Chains A and B, each alone.
Chain A
Amino acid sequence: MPATPTYILLNQITLAAASSSVTFSNIPQNYGDLVLCINGSLSSSGVTQLNPNGDSANTNRSAVYMSGSVIAGASSGTLGAQNVRNIGSLNGTSRFNAEIQLMDYSATDKHKTFLIRYDDSAVATEAMVQRYAVTTALTSLNLTTSGGNFTVGTTFYLYGVYA
Chain B
Amino acid sequence: MAVKSLAQQSLNQSFSTNSMLSGYDSNYFHHLETVRLGGSAASVTFSNLQRYSDYQHLQLRLVTRDTRAASAAVLHARFNGDTASNYAVHRLIGTGSSVTSANLSGNLFWLGLSPSNSGASGNFAATVCDILDPFETNKNTTIRSFNGFGGSVEFGIFSGAWLNTAAVSSILIFPQSDNFTSGSRFSLYGIKARS
Contact = CB atoms under 8 A, between A and B. Distances in A.
Interface of A: 1, 3-17, 19-28, 32-33, 62-66, 74-78, 101, 103-104, 107, 109-111, 113-115, 117, 127, 129-133, 135, 161-163
A42 B141 CA distance: 40
A133 B3 contact: no
A149 to B, nearest CB: 9
A100 to B, nearest CB: 11
Looking at chain B, what size class is its interface with the partner chain?
A: 35 or more
Interface string B20-51: 01111111011111100000000000000000
A101 B61 CA distance: 10
B61 A10 contact: no
B155 A101 contact: no
B44 to A, nearest CB: 14
A135 B183 CA distance: 12
Contacts of A12: 1-2, 21
Contact of A16 (B5, B94, B151, B187): B5
B21 A163 contact: no
B9 interface: yes
Interface stretch (B70-78, B79-87, B123-131, B169-177): B123-131
A161 B13 CA distance: 19
Given A13-B13, A16-B3, A75-B99, A163 B61 contact: yes
A13 B11 CA distance: 9
Contact of A111 (B31, B123, B148, B152): B123
Contacts of B4: 13-16
B67 to A, nearest CB: 15
A9 B15 CA distance: 12
Interface of B: 1-6, 9-15, 19, 21-27, 29-34, 61, 63, 65, 92-99, 120, 122-126, 128, 146-152, 155-157, 183, 185, 187, 189-190
13 contacts: A3-B30, A11-B19, A19-B9, A20-B9, A23-B11, A23-B12, A27-B15, A32-B185, A101-B128, A101-B146, A110-B123, A113-B126, A161-B31
Best-buried of A7, A12, A27, A135 by chain B (most CB within 10 Å) = A7
A134 to B, nearest CB: 9
Contacts of A74: 99
B32 A15 contact: no
A33 B93 CA distance: 24
Given A101-B128, A133-B120, 4 more contacts: A11-B22, A13-B11, A19-B11, A32-B187
Contacts of B98: 75-76
B183 A127 contact: no
A101 B1 CA distance: 24
A113 B24 contact: no
Contact of A66 (B2, B61, B94, B187): B94
Contact of A5 (B12, B26, B122): B26
B6 A17 contact: yes
Given A28-B15, A65-B94, A161 B149 contact: no
A121 B10 CA distance: 26
